[in-house]
Structure 1
Amino acid sequence: MSAAGPGEAAAVTAMEAAGLAYTVTRHGRVSSLEEAAAARGVEPAAIIKTIVVRRAEEDYLLVLVPGDRTISWPRLRALLGVSRLSMPDAATAREVTGYERGTITPFGALRAWPVVADERVSGTVSIGAGAHGVAATVDGAALVAALDARVADVTDPA
């Protein structure tokens, strides 16, 4: 097994600093949600995607979305009290988080952007850990608490 790269090291350091109990799983690149879930030993719904959302110029937030769900844009806009949200392109997402798409995690991002967690983030979940094919298995409630995430119903079935 190779040594942790800079993204994984940043994520792990941040999880430790937050006092979050976690288990790292390294499984290499996968091509689907189902492959990732099988490799991590969890159900697809327990895979937590970290989505970068642009609220305004230089104003982003991270949304934690269960793997089998998608963002409900009307509900997220209503929660945030804004009329428009967008997803930045891959280069901008990397610029504002320090992670490339597919590896984005709230832990160790370049800036501590606000986090909104869908209310279904609970039980044992698996979140990206800063590198392709690397994840952290954590308790969903502890994850939400460690990130001081705002919890709301902000997703729809995929």
Structure 2
Amino acid sequence: MGGLDGERRALEALEASGIEFEITKHGPVRSLEEAAQVRGVTPGDIVKSLVVRRGDDDYLFVLVTGDRAISWPKLRALLGVSRLSLPDAATALDVTGYERGTITPFGSITAWPVLADERVRGRRVSIGAGAHGVAATVDGDELARALGATVADVTQDAATD
């Protein structure tokens, strides 16, 4: 389900969204910092698409800038739940059709709800586009709008435990 098929699904979904985007392709990278460097952006300009499990067969995408991490207390409070978790890589693939490192809401095999951290807005961001080494640069406000994302403060500094 990954590779060219994932890239094709993401690209078709991006085109269907009507937002302006620019595709960047690069070779393998070993870290978010390295990805930022080859894309010519800062780590904070990269948007990680994280799959979060709310319950049995109930997931959502949480969009987080690369310099931030999910604040589990904030996210649980916003969603009104006492427990959330990150699924393992195989489950994330099963519920999105994308391997870890390629996950994006665009073209996901299931249209899970999207929650975007407020720091995604007001800037140009680079989001994964369905395959390793493929990213789409988009306006963060347009990204949130196109995905119908709920926008809220759900992160903390990545260095905070």
TM range (shorter): over 0.9
User: How far did residue 27 of structure 1 move?
Assistant: 0.5
1: CA distance, partners of 2:27 / 2:10: 17
1:1-158 aligned at under 5 Å gives the runs 5-122=4-121, 123-158=123-158
Q: 1:29: Cα distance to partner?
A: 1.4
Residues of 1 paired with 2:134 and 2:23: CA distance?
7
Residues matched between the structures, number: 155
- Following the alignment from structure 1 to structure 2, what is the Cα–Cα distance between the partners of residues 45 and 55? 26
Offset at residue 128 of structure 1 (A): 0.1
Q: Which moved more, 1:51-60 or 1:26-35?
A: 26-35
Structure 2 residues not aligned, in runs of 5+: none
Instruction: Measure, in 2, the Cα distance between the counterparts of 1:7 and 1:28.
Output: 17
Amino acid paired to 1:135: A
Instruction: Quote how far apart the aligned CAs of 1:33 are.
Output: 1.4
Deviations 1:103-153 (A, max 9, x none): 000000001100000000021000000000100000000000000000000
Instruction: Tell me the TM-score normalized by structure 1.
Output: 0.96
Where structure 1 has 5 or more consecutive residues not aligned to the other structure, the ranges are none
SS at match of 1:106: coil
1:81 partner amino acid: G
Which range is displaced more, 52-61 or 32-41?
A: 32-41
> For 2:32 and 2:98, how far apart are their aligned partners in 1?
19
Runs ≥4 residues deviating over 6 A:
none
